[in-house]
Amino acid sequence: MSKVKAITTDAPTGGAVYGDFELPDPEHYSAKLKTIYNGICGTDRGMVAGALPFAYNPEGYKRLVLGHEALAQVVEIEKNEFGIRSGDYVVPIVRRPGKCVNCRIGRMDNCTDGDKHEAGITGMHGFMREYFYDTPENLVKVQDNSILDVAVLAEPLKNVEKAFEVFNKISERSIFLNDFGTYEDKKAVIIGTGSEAFLYSFFARDYGFDTILTNRHPIPDQKTVMVDKSGVEFYDYTKDMDKILEGGIDLLIDTSGHPGTIFQFIRKLNHNGITILFGTNGKAPATDVDGADIDYLIENNITLMGSVDGAREHYFKALEHLRNWRHNYGDIMKDLITKKIPPSDVEIFSNKPGDEIKTIIDWSKA
Ligand SMILES: [Zn+2]
């Protein structure tokens, strides 16, 4: 057994403790990794609050190491598989395959039977610890060390990569583009103003969509600066709903944790419109759906799609996008990281800073 500094919870009851955690030394491992950064997201906070009934501790453990967003450095590696060498920086993959057909082809994001595990969430220790062990097929190498400061965002961004892959498939059923064969003048509305909302907005903007972020309250100055820099617009929908709905909506994306919010916008979707439901913390509040909303969806050929997680290929695409965005927009991605804290600062899980876009745990501060 070895003691490792870690942030643990008791899933699904909750709580967060930082301290020595005893783990057995692996009998066999391919790579030993040192954690550099962890991102904190709504799932981590939901687990600490005891609000995610699907979370559970690994078999034989009374506690679970938290954390699914990470950047790590390879300390030791047995064989140089997948081009990964000692000293390389890597992003670990969250989902681990079960036995279903989708898991067997590396598409655990499309798991058929729920027999997969998720690091730091369901039955597998996560990455909020100073060291962990893993195998190269679960590690994605960061090819460009100039994005190490933002590479931890590859995990949330891979969800967006996958959602747009599904969007591409659905939008092919009709001509979704404008008369010039582009997405320009098409409108994307993204509900929410957290890090996933910003990542979706960068993606929609790159497609050429007129992109609007919206929430039910104004946003702090720091977020206003981000919105301005990134060429998207923000409107508080409790005040400026008419500006959001003008000209209709072609792509509606919910990241708010309250997916029922889409029904405030749904009857302004244009023909063949697409809605991506992304944000839930596992306990979406109940929502009344009007019969007229259902009629509208049917009559206008509108698709509602749910999307969760992403596969190895999406981590690669996410790292490539981070690289492009660094090149095209400078430090804008870095500005998404609003705070870096030491791992001992576990109150962060229950006290979300008002101006937070993404808070990062920095293990060099341990
Ligand atoms: Zn599966």
DSSP 93-128: -SEE--SSHHHHTT-GGG-SSS--EEETTBEE--S-
pTM: 0.95
Per-residue pLDDT of the chain (366 residues; tens, 9 = 90+): 899 999 999 999 999 999 999 998 887 779 999 999 999 999 999 999 999 999 999 999 999 999 999 999 999 999 888 999 999 999 999 999 999 999 999 999 999 998 899 999 999 999 999 999 999 999 999 999 999 999 999 999 999 999 999 999 999 999 999 999 999 999 999 999 999 999 999 999 999 999 999 999 999 988 898 899 889 999 999 999 999 999 999 999 999 988 999 999 999 999 999 999 997 777 788 888 999 999 999 999 999 999 999 999 999 999 999 999 999 888 888 999 999 999 999 999 999 998 899 999 999 999
- The Cα–Cα gap between 318 and 263 comes to 30
Q: Are 108 and 63 in contact (CB under 8 A)?
A: no
- Residues 302, 300: Cα–Cα separation, whole Å: 5
Ligand 1 centre distance from Cα of residue 270 (Å): 35
Q: Provide the residue ranges of all domains of the chain, joining segments of one domain with +.
A: 2-141+336-365, 158-306
The pair of structure tokens assigned to 301 is 């050929």
Compute the distance from residue 96 Cα to the ligand 1 centre, in Å.
9
Can you give the pLDDT at residue 148? 97
Residue 104 Cα to ligand 1 midpoint, Å, equals 7
> Whole-angstrom Cα distance, residue 270 to residue 250?
5
Q: How far is the CA of 151 from the centre of ligand 1 (A)?
A: 27
Label residues 333-349 b or e (16+ Cβ within 10 Å = b): bebbbbbebebebbebb
How far is ligand 1, taken at its centre, from the CA of residue 110, in Å? 7
Separation between Cα atoms, residue 224 and residue 220, nearest integer Å: 6
CA 359 – CA 153 distance, rounded (Å): 11
Pairing between β-strand 358-362 and β-strand 31-40 as defined by DSSP bridges: antiparallel
Q: How remote is the CA of residue 108 from the centroid of ligand 1, in Å?
A: 6
Domain 2-141+336-365 shares a fold with domain 158-306: no
Determine the distance separating the centroid of ligand 1 and the alpha carbon of 95, expressed in angstroms: 10
pLDDT the model gives residue 63: 97
CA of residue 169 to ligand 1 center, whole Å: 22
CB atoms within 10 A of CB 146: 12
CA–CA separation, 1 vs 280, rounded Å? Answer: 37
Structure tokens at 67: 């954390």
**Residue 317 C-alpha to ligand 1 middle, in angstroms?**
22
- Asked whether 66 and 8 are in contact (CB, 8 A), the reply is yes
Q: Which amino acid is at 141?
A: K
Calculate how far, in angstroms, residue 227's C-alpha sits from the geometric centre of ligand 1: 38
Q: 180: CA distance to ligand 1 center in Å?
A: 41
Q: How far is the CA of 275 from the centre of ligand 1 (A)?
A: 25
Q: Is 123 left (phi over 0), alpha (psi -120 to 50) or beta?
A: left
Ligand 1 centroid, distance to 349 Cα (angstroms)? 30
Handedness of CA 263, 265, 271, 274 (dihedral sign): negative
Measured distance CA(203)–CA(232) in Å, rounded? 11
Tokens coding 339: 């705070």
* Cα 312 to averaged position of ligand 1 atoms, centre (Å): 15
Length of the chain: 366
Whole-angstrom Cα distance, residue 311 to residue 305? 18
- pLDDT at position 284: 83
Residue 327 alpha carbon to ligand 1 centre in Å: 37
In this structure, are strands 210-215 and 187-191 parallel, antiparallel, or unpaired?
A: parallel
Residue 112 CA to ligand 1 center (angstroms) comes to: 5
pLDDT of residue 26: 84
Rounded (5°) CA angle 116-121-126: 100
Q: Which distant-in-sequence residues (6+ apart) come within 8 Å of 328 by Cβ? A: none
Q: What is the pLDDT of residue 178?
A: 93
Q: What is the structure's pLDDT at 73? A: 98
Domain 2-141+336-365: give its CATH architecture: Alpha-Beta Complex (3.90)
User: What local confidence, expressed as pLDDT, does residue 222 receive?
Assistant: 85
Do 213 and 232 touch, CB atoms closer than 8 A?
Answer: yes
Q: pLDDT at position 212, please?
A: 98
The fold of the 158-306 domain, in CATH, is Rossmann fold (3.40.50)
State the distance from the centre of ligand 1 to the C-alpha of 103, rounded, in angstroms. 4
